Structure 1
Amino acid sequence: MKNILLITIYIMLNLNSCISSQNYNNKIKTDIFNNLINENYKLVIKDLKRTCNLCIPYKDLIETKIELAFSYYKVNKLEKSILIINKLLKYKELKNYDYLLYMKGLINILLHSKNKKSIFTFEENRDNSKLKIAFNSFKELIENYPNSVYYNSSIKKLNYIKDKIALNEILKIKYFLDNRYYLSSLNRSIEFIKNFQDTSLVYYAVIYARHSCEKLSLNEILKNFNKILDSNIDNFIKLKLIKK
């Protein structure tokens, strides 16, 4: 009987707390709305963090966390934003899952850009891991959410990332070629042709592969690359990589 009474009191206290929290939450919502209009995202973040600590329904809590992730993104606190998004992406049943994937891709592109130097020079220790995470996020969205409002934008960003990765790979191939690491250059050229055959830079991969074969006296393999070049010459001309 005593235990039942204690449980009842506990439930009543929490219920009263939730009611008062709901009233308090309505005030915060008004503050958030006003701050959003004024684009004062630092105050929005402050209010959203307070909301997360209130007794609010699960659905509202998820929405609040999504808004918090977006607000962190707006004030360039990308690491905090991606931390929230990664936690939310564990729940595939969320109705805004496509939006979370899109934001994950977008933020990882920005995180990559923060740490890069010139894209036209090869850095041996360049880290493309953020770009690859972004690539996989957009790819997942495209494959699983064809009706998403972020679908078309994701395709464009996927192609953008692919071109960025392809450029870095072709610079690696040229770096190895220029420094006489012909076998490494050849192997990377072959991998490039497999993975990036739909990019314009594939032409250079074939040229570098031919050059490596010549240096290594791999005449039979050289013939194969000559065939690839000859059979695709019209495509390369269309891409304006070779002048008529």
Structure 2
Amino acid sequence: MKKIVLVSLATLLLAVAGCSSTPKKNDLEETKLEVMTAQQLFDNAKGALRAGNYTRAIQMLEEIDTRYPFGSISEQAKMDLLYAYFKKADYEAGQALADRFLRQHPQHENADYVYYMKGVMHYESEVGFFKDTFQADLATRDTTNLEAAFDNFKALVEVYPESKYSPDARKRMIQIRNLLAENQLHIAQYYMERDTYIAAANRAKYIVENFPQTPAVPHALDMLIKAYNLLELPELAQQYRKVLLLNYPDYNFADL
């Protein structure tokens, strides 16, 4: 009986030892990555990108970035990693990588692409929000990402006007200006609805002065007229009425 117990105990210990020494799947994957060359990692990452497996592509491209921080493969891997972060909507990691790349390679031949992707990531992180929530109270909304996107696109078109990314950047800049002006108009309306006419007028005037040629301008002029009439400042109201008539002769004055 004692022998049976000892044999069973020994068998159990061997089984436990065998389990503890069996490599886990993640450990095996990491080992495979470690034995790959930079070119093998890069080729496999490209295949993962083509297949839409961005998580796997990021894993291999990050491995290149860590183990092979210099050289042509490393630089191209960073471009692909930036794209993979974008496709995974990991904008924070993408922005960090883009900033690091521009610090290290300010004159790189792909710097225009990096500026473009920085703008796109800022843009995409906010534009969906604006499409979905313009009916909500926007008085306290933060437009930092849209403003940052505009700045990135502006840097691109000013420094690299002939870049293949500049035409799309210019289009996005126009849309961003329209969105920012619309946001300001909603804030002005917020003040009007709460009878805070001076604040509404100031916000509407800001739109006219800082977002010319956007669709929000005639509505901002309309609001200025109404606000100044309510504030019993008819001369200012008339002044902005003339501006509105001159620039938007077909505007509907029914409520003025």
Q: Please state which band the TM-score falls in when normalised by the shorter chain.
A: 0.7 to 0.9
Aligned 1:56-135 pairs, distance under 5 A: 57-90=70-103, 91-113=105-127, 118-135=133-150
Decide whether aligned partners of structure 1 residues 54 and 180 sit closer, same or farther in structure 2, where only a CA change above 3 A counts.
Answer: same
What letter matches 1:80 in structure 2? Answer: A
Per-residue CA deviations over 1:194-238 (Å, capped at 9, x if unaligned) read 11120122111011001111111112212211220221233xx3x
Tell me the CA shift for residue 31 of structure 1.
Answer: 1.6
What letter matches 1:24 in structure 2? Answer: T
**Structure 2 gaps, min length 5:** 1-33
Q: How many residues end up aligned between the 2 structures?
A: 219
Aligned 1:132-147 pairs, distance under 5 A: 132-147=147-162
Alignment-derived partner of residue 13 in structure 1: none
Per-residue CA deviations over 1:117-140 (Å, capped at 9, x if unaligned) read 512333221010000000111111
Per-residue CA deviations over 1:105-156 (Å, capped at 9, x if unaligned) read 1111122246555123332210100000001111111122111111111111
**Residue 47 (1) aligns with residue 70 (2):** no
Decide whether aligned partners of structure 1 residues 220 and 242 sit closer, same or farther in structure 2, where only a CA change above 3 A counts.
Answer: closer
What letter matches 1:198 in structure 2? Answer: Q
The TM-score with structure 1 as length reference comes to 0.81
Aligned 1:150-165 pairs, distance under 5 A: 150-165=165-180
Cα distance in 2 between the residues matched to 1:57 and 1:83: 18
Cα distance in 1 between the residues matched to 2:119 and 2:191: 31
Report % sequence identity: 23
What letter matches 2:114 in structure 1? Answer: L
Structure with higher Rg: it is: 2
2:38 to 18, 25, 28: 25
Alignment-derived partner of residue 6 in structure 1: none
- My pick for the range that moved more, 221-230 or 59-68, is 59-68
**Structure 1 gaps, min length 5:** 1-20
Per-residue CA deviations over 1:43-65 (Å, capped at 9, x if unaligned) read 11111111123246344333222
Cα distance in 2 between the residues matched to 1:79 and 1:23: 28
Per-residue CA deviations over 1:159-214 (Å, capped at 9, x if unaligned) read 11111111111111111111100000111111110111201221110110011111
The TM-score with structure 2 as length reference comes to 0.78
Cα distance in 2 between the residues matched to 1:46 and 1:121: 39
Cα distance in 2 between the residues matched to 1:165 and 1:56: 39
- My pick for the range that moved more, 165-174 or 51-60, is 51-60
Aligned 1:162-201 pairs, distance under 5 A: 162-201=177-216
Alignment-derived partner of residue 232 in structure 1: 247
Per-residue CA deviations over 1:53-107 (Å, capped at 9, x if unaligned) read 3246344333222221211111222211111112223342121111111111111
What letter matches 1:107 in structure 2? Answer: M
Cα distance in 1 between the residues matched to 2:123 and 2:52: 23
1:53 is paired with a residue whose SS is helix
**Residue 35 (1) aligns with residue 48 (2):** yes
Q: Is the 8 A contact 1:121 1:171 kept in 2?
A: no
1:198 is paired with a residue whose SS is coil
1:106 is paired with a residue whose SS is helix
Cα distance in 1 between the residues matched to 2:69 and 2:97: 18
